[in-house]
Chains A and B, each alone.
Chain A
Amino acid sequence: MRNKIAVIAQHADNRIDPVTYEAVSCALELCAGETSCIQIIVPGDRVEKVAQEISGETGIDTIALENELLKIYNAEAYTSALVTFFRQRAPGYILIPHTSVGYDFAPLLAIKLEASCITAVKQVNGSDGTTAFVHEVFDGRLYAEVVSKTKTTVITIQPGAWEPLGRQPGKSGIVETRNVTVNPGKTRTIAFRQSDYQGAALANSEVIVSAGRGIGKKENLSLIYEVAKLFPRSALGCSRAVCDAGWLEYSHQVGITGSTVSPKLYFAIGISGAVQHITGIKGAQVIVAVNSDPAARFFTIADYCIVEDLTQFIPTLVEEFKKKYGSFSK
């Protein structure tokens, strides 16, 4: 059977977001490596080049779905284009990267196609002919396994859950460009812009000392500053919860909607390790986590785990540092 799975590419300004290739990997898992079941769709305006590039990388058939109104992302326009395209025959699965674009339009697409919708999927389990999709619930402490009951299922793929498909030499897919009618809808995207909070200090830092809601109150930031002072060059990071509470500015936020960082050392203090946070530190070389909860998610990715109350551990750490080195290094 052909075209059972559609993957919607994520791209902007002629750049393909690598999460697209992660979604392709998931598609390949779903169809047991049978590339002819997969079709990659690139909605946009003049995106044939993008489609060619994706097809060239993956060897999978790719369609550039074009309309002027798709030049800049807008949920209604995107969905309208895809619904028109799928009207003939909707595929069994529509895979969309779980990004701020993907999770925005996926539920609308599901409504329009009368499809089920399962988001932030990080694993596929199959047994006796049924396919179950796994996503996190309750802060990731539990996983839910979900089975679709409809002919078409819209799925968003958690970034980082699948390895991106690497270049497939020797394979080639067909690239097709199709014009599609688009209903302009009642939203108009004016622009994408960078937020006023920039994270430059974080992006270039070798050591990041990062605070989570576990510090309990703003005053306890002083503990984090003391840790930061142990390192000759360090920057201050934090979880979103710390910014939401007004303890630090958003320029310090690490994670998917904050800064993506790749320091030599990431020192996480009182951070639970939500997927949106740890996706942002994938590039860190050494991760140290301090958390009073032995079941904290951060420990599943930390190189050194310290199960301690931070309000007691940090002063001890600083004391021992001074004993050993005399004073602060800066």
Chain B
Amino acid sequence: MKILVCVKQVSVPGTYPAADKPPPGFRINSYDEYALEEALLLKERIEKTTVHAVSAGPERVTAVIKRAMEMGADQGMHIRYEQEEQLTPYQVATLIASYARDRQYDIILTGVMADDDMQMQTGQMIAGILGYPYASSVVSHEIREGRTMYVERECDARQRQCLEIEMPCVLTIQSGINRPRYPSLSNILRAKQQKIESINALDLPEARETEVRLFSPGIKPKGTILQGTRREKAVQLLEILHEKALL
């Protein structure tokens, strides 16, 4: 079986891009770590399974491809384009779909969402472009006989959507489905030796929407900010709760 895992490089949480400052650091999108772990678990269970990790972006994104290889991906693929500005989910999906089209992947995995743009689109769009079926927000899955998978999607209010899906397919993985592993020493050494395959993004489609402004909503506290020392705050809080008959 051949599995492709899409990994995105995002700004380090807690450090946020101000319009005039370059982001101070990058990391692998947290939801993609769950996707990668899911691929590695399948590899452990099913013989002759290979796991490829792909990312599209400027040179810096090779860091997350390396990270995926250190976690255990067999090969890393870099779809290179040089501009620094963020691509839209549609653009990324187009690049990844055209990469994956003739490469016979049985399953393509992404995280359910990116920590940075929070759009939850790329996986579904890859599937749409390739004409593959998909399931988003997957919390469990199982390969059934033939070329079908049984999948459960997490839905609102503790519901699960249970579905059957034909392979090849795209699954977007929700957090908590597993505990992503840390890189092992042997994989770190292997990844060090291994080259990342690189292809140029030739057919970057035009974006269908553009971000015109990024701004801080500002934090306007709605209620009372308790003042004083820690102890004074504790006393005040107890008084308030008492007054409201909550204690």
Contacts and interface: CB of A to CB of B under 8 A. Distances in A.
A216 to B, nearest CB: 15
Given A147-B210, A190-B162, A303-B223, A100 B154 contact: yes
Contacts of A329: 247
Interface stretch (A51-59, A60-68, A107-115, A168-176): A107-115
A104 B240 CA distance: 43
Contacts of B9: none
A143 B217 contact: yes
Contacts of B224: 303-305
Contacts of A146: 209-212
B125 A302 contact: no
A132 B160 contact: no
Q: Is the interface of B mostly helix, strand, loop or mixed?
A: mixed
A30 interface: no
A117 B129 contact: no
A243 B176 contact: yes
A142 interface: yes
Contacts of A256: 156-157
Interface string B3-38: 000000001010011000000000000000000000
A75 interface: yes
Contacts of B118: 119-120, 135-139
B210 A195 contact: no
Contact of B11 (A138, A153, A295): A138
Interface stretch (B40-48, B56-64, B99-107, B231-239): B231-239
Interface string B168-188: 010000011001000000000
A47 B126 CA distance: 31
Contact of B121 (A107, A138, A295, A325): A107
Contacts of B158: 194-195, 197-199, 257-259
B125 A110 contact: yes
B49 interface: no
Contact of A141 (B176, B216, B241, B244): B216
Interface string B147-164: 000000111111111111
Interface string B213-243: 1111101111111100011011101101100
Interface stretch (A35-43, A181-189, A218-226): A181-189
A240 interface: yes
B130 to A, nearest CB: 10
A28 interface: no
A316 B230 contact: yes
Interface string A241-262: 1011010001000001111100
A222 to B, nearest CB: 18
A273 B169 CA distance: 34
Nearest to B114: A137
A257 B155 contact: yes
Given A119-B119, A149-B207, A187 B133 contact: yes
B163 A189 contact: yes
Contacts of B68: none
A145 B121 contact: no
Contacts of B202: none
B79 to A, nearest CB: 19
A308 interface: yes
A321 B212 CA distance: 51
B197 interface: no
A54 to B, nearest CB: 20
Given A185-B133, A295-B219, A145 B225 contact: no
B55 interface: no
A106 B13 CA distance: 27
Contacts of A20: none
Nearest to A289: B223
Contacts of A188: 163-165
Given A192-B155, A329-B247, A187 B125 contact: no
A264 interface: yes
B92 to A, nearest CB: 12
Q: Which residue among A111, A190, A300 has the maximum number of chain B CB atoms within 10 Å of its CB? A: A111
Contacts of A243: 176
A313 B119 CA distance: 36
A106 B226 CA distance: 43
B187 to A, nearest CB: 23
8 contacts: A75-B124, A107-B121, A118-B119, A120-B120, A144-B211, A149-B207, A195-B159, A230-B247
Given A250-B176, A265-B241, 20 more contacts: A75-B134, A107-B122, A107-B125, A111-B124, A111-B125, A116-B208, A117-B89, A117-B209, A118-B119, A136-B118, A138-B116, A139-B13, A142-B216, A145-B215, A148-B208, A188-B165, A191-B161, A195-B154, A287-B223, A300-B219
